[in-house]
Amino acid sequence: MQAKTPSESKTVMTDLVLPGETNPLNNLFGGDLLARMDKAGSIAARRHSRRVVVTASVNHVSFNRSVPLGSVLTIEANVSRAFKSSMETVIDVWIEDRESGERTKANSAIYTFVAVDDTGKPIAVPPIQPETPLEQERFDAALRRKQLSLVLAGKMKPNEATELKAIFE
């Protein structure tokens, strides 16, 4: 299968934060943001694989800044690395200042999606060819994150996680 670049899967979703999506402090409810990031990440994984994809794991979420009611939220996602059937997606969330238009990064996350066939069985996806230094950095770190995710899910024995062991040796 021919390799694709991370930019080929780039997905940008811009939306408003409305009443009913917020907590008692009038900030966006965390679970709502998780769902929005899931949608953006799954579209990126779909664009990379051109397959049906399912969320296999939410590997990392960092809620650095609250998102107030009325915010214009932009979620950007792309596939950072593809393995056999799984794809790591990196998701960044930006808030736009109403007056200046200046963007501030509010959150970031890493989700893993798996491409599946009509019966829900994992199916192979194209590899990724990083183009920029940041894409290369994310590509290199993705295997460590995959192993950590599999260890935490009880799907890999810690002593088989060679990339993780290498950090501590």
Ligand X SMILES: CC(C)(COP(=O)(O)OP(=O)(O)OC[C@H]1O[C@@H](n2cnc3c(N)ncnc32)[C@H](O)[C@@H]1OP(=O)(O)O)[C@@H](O)C(=O)NCCC(=O)NCCS
Build a one-symbol-per-residue string for 137-156: x at contacts with ligand X by CB under 6 A, - elsewhere.
---------x--xx--x-x-
Measure the CA–CA gap between 45 and 42, rounded to whole angstroms. 5
Site for ligand X in 88-147 (CB under 6 A): 112, 114, 116, 120, 122, 146
CB of 160 to ligand X, least distance (A): 12
The correct pick among 39, 83, 136, 163 for binding ligand X (CB under 6 A) is 83
DSSP class of 25: T
Instruction: Strand 72-82: give its sheet, edge to edge.
Output: 11-16, 72-82, 86-96, 103-116, 52-63
Inter-residue contact 74 to 64 (CB < 8 Å)? no
Stretch that binds ligand X, among 23-31, 81-89, 133-141, 157-165 (CB under 6 A): 81-89
Site for ligand X in 10-69 (CB under 6 A): 54-57
Q: Which residues contact 95 (CB under 8 A, 6 or more apart)?
A: 65, 67, 71, 72, 73, 74, 103, 104, 106
Q: By the criterion CB under 6 A, which residues form the site for ligand X?
A: 54-57, 83-86, 112, 114, 116, 120, 122, 146, 149-150, 153, 155
